[in-house]
Chains A and B, each alone.
Chain A
Amino acid sequence: MKKEFIITIFSENHIGLLTRITIVFTRRKINIDSLTVSESALQGIYKFTIVIKETEAQTQKVVNQLEKLIDVLKAFYHTNDEMIYQEIALYKVPIEPIYESDAIEKIVRKAGARILEITKDYVVVEKTGHKEDTQALFEELNKFHVMQFIRSGRVAITRDPIERLSEFLKERDAFLNSLD
């Protein structure tokens, strides 16, 4: 049965790696629902967070193929339950309805969102949460005709008490040293 999996990839920062990674998915005709790339806590090591809907067996095979890439240090996959994750959304809402009533203000307060910028034409609202939350806020605000809406890819960290990557790097360094 297909369900949502979060794949985390730690890699060297080399040109072209994004293509190498996405090809592993496209070759198996797997759609990437969300993708975020940034430098990890360890300098020079980049972290890809990719969300797909797939069976666990297929996800495992994809992770094996990802680890096979020369520049990839380690890849993991997790279910949503095993991770704490967030996405960020920005909404540009016209200013008139705010002059006219406090409806928008109430929606923003209730959603735990915040206002980033107010101009004479629009207000920019920011909301962090799961997709359902940011989507729900969009539905509410769109009653007032949202002018622009953008949602980020997912960022996620594990519930594990240990940082798996640093453990992994320690083991890898020890292994490489043992080869000398």
Chain B
Amino acid sequence: MTTKRVTGSEALILSLLEEGVDTIFGYPGGAIMPVYDALYDYDKRVNHILTRHEQGAIHGAQGYARVTGKPGICFATSGPGATNLMTGIADAMIDSTPLVCITGQVASPLLGTDAFQESDIVGMSIPVTKWNYQITSPEEIPQAIAQAFYIANSGRPGPVLIDLTKDAQFGELDFEYKKCTKIRSYVPEKPVDPHAVKEAADLIDAAKKPMILFGHGIIIGRAEQELKDFIEKAGIPAAWTIMGLSALPTDHPLNVGMLGMHGNYGPNVLTNEADLIIAVGMRFDDRVTGKVSEYARKAKIIHIEIDPAEINKIIKTDVRILGDAKKALKMLTANVKENSHPEWMEEFHKHMKVEQEKVINKDLRPTKPGLTMGEVISLASEKTNHDAILVTDVGQHQMVAQRYFKFKHSRSNVTSGGLGTMGFCLPASMGAQLGAPDRTVIAVIGDGGFQMTIQELGTIAQNKLPVKIIVLNNHFLGMVRQWQQLFFEKRYSFTELQNPDFIMIGKGFGIEGHRVDKREDLANGVQQMLDHDGPYLLEVTIEKEDNVFPMVPTGASVSDIILEP
């Protein structure tokens, strides 16, 4: 192998290129300037996106990672640059998103001296990273970066942070790169145990009311086809978690919809009627289970999961299948009998009819003059032929979007699931667009979350990213207001917003847009947005006090889901 004498900064860039990096989101500053200087010579080989805030950079990297399955990369300087990444790191950790974050750090002799822009980002980020490491000498760079990529994107993915002192950036080394393929103390996935598969298959063959709950693990493990093969052979209804959305086409006959607090009526209620639950690549989040002690009491539980720490964490498992979802599902499909459960499926259809009458019709064919979020989302989905990538923020609009947007392809739903990070959507949509340049990316944001990272309109404009931004404006922090209405006697404590003229702000950034206030203008408005060449901002004025239903109130059982106030 040939070696080359380079600076630590150049070694970092070369290492990233060795790992196939084509896009970096970042923001320069004092302690990472040598890296940016090295980057200057590589601007033809790697696309660096200068965001307007480090939080924009990390959510951008997340959006990129979620649509591509490759680790998202972001750069930030020491001190405030690094701490501004923290929310995104925590978000990526809980949503198992592979990231490699590079932070500059003060020179190693200054460590621990309260130097200018020094913060202990390694210490601070321990609980929210899968792994982190501080490099203080240039020779460590290739190996540390190789390990970072291996750890970030193997097993259950997650964010990794590498802190690089300024002297390590300036120093020189003989560069030689070798990809990391194993670490003694880390086994990312165990081989699937065929005995456990057999045991699970027997339970599946014997079940009368089986139900599959699938999550992000299907997408991460690229197991979409295996999931489809399995449910079709065994004839089992399958429900997705918010993170599992788009892993199966929405209109697949065995797709019974979304689990959880604002999920569909059938899968929630029938969880408590099922005699067998097959959970794949999901972690029984409290928003999915409702009251744990009353959850799926009639069912045996099979849990297919790559992370051993998830087994028995919330729900006691009868059969555990540790390992990769793709391999496990393939083995399971080979072991189960062909089957169908028409009467059981009919239960789901019946519940869907009830939901249709009590909730969906009101949302999608409202009789009130005020526009609903549901009709906007549904129209955007239809007009993109259910082919677009949906990126959402957090709150009412997010839940409505997850309920009514339809998917044909996997990796088409980018949202902050576990952490519920407001401000996620706009920057994540830039990353999604860069990761999938040929697809339409629709960013659906509430008026609250939009103002948390609104500065990234500048990044979108500068890079001409043709993101279609829909701001659903009800002049409220809608989800908090909904809870105040339902559980705090309508005491609307600090949830009403006086908003700026968003369209004028968009124009200030050089982004075209217009506002729709009336139903008769909506279809044209959405069409105009989609037809526009380049980024576009569509603001839709929404009925001020609409609520999202169905809803499993906090602490209630999933079968006590309510359909109307």
Contact = CB atoms under 8 A, between A and B. Distances in A.
Q: How large is the interface on A (under 10, 10 to 19, 20 to 34, 35 or more residues)?
A: 20 to 34
A175 B184 CA distance: 10
Given A60-B312, A61-B309, A61-B313, A70 B185 contact: yes
Interface string A141-180: 0000000000000000000000000000000110110010
Interface string B94-131: 00000000000000000000000000001100110011
Nearest to B186: A70
Interface stretch (A11-19, A83-91, A117-125): A11-19
A20 B151 CA distance: 16
Most chain A Cβ neighbours within 10 Å, of B122, B151, B308, B309: B309
B130 A70 contact: yes
Contacts of A176: 182, 184, 187
B184 A23 contact: no
A72 interface: yes
A175 B309 contact: no
B187 A20 contact: no
Most chain B Cβ neighbours within 10 Å, of A23, A65, A176: A176
Interface string A15-52: 01001100100010000000000000000000000000
Nearest to B132: A16
Contacts of B127: 23, 27
Nearest to B309: A64
A11 B185 contact: yes
Contact of A19 (B123, B151, B186, B187): B123
A114 interface: no
A67 B130 CA distance: 12
A95 interface: no
A68 interface: yes
A68 B185 contact: no
B187 A175 contact: yes
Given A60-B312, A70-B131, A16 B185 contact: no
A71 interface: yes
A73 interface: yes
A16 B182 contact: no
Given A72-B185, A175-B187, A176-B184, A20 B126 contact: yes
A65 B309 CA distance: 6
A12 B181 contact: no
A70 B126 contact: no
B1 interface: no
A45 B308 CA distance: 23
A55 B313 CA distance: 14
Given A12-B185, A67-B308, A176-B184, A19 B126 contact: yes
A175 B187 CA distance: 9
25 contacts: A12-B185, A16-B122, A16-B123, A16-B126, A19-B123, A19-B126, A20-B126, A61-B309, A61-B312, A64-B308, A64-B311, A64-B313, A67-B309, A68-B307, A68-B308, A70-B130, A70-B131, A70-B151, A70-B186, A71-B185, A175-B187, A176-B184, A176-B187, A179-B181, A179-B182
Interface of A: 11-12, 16, 19-20, 23, 27, 60-61, 64-65, 67-68, 70-73, 172-173, 175-176, 179
Interface of B: 122-123, 126-127, 130-131, 151, 181-187, 307-309, 311-313
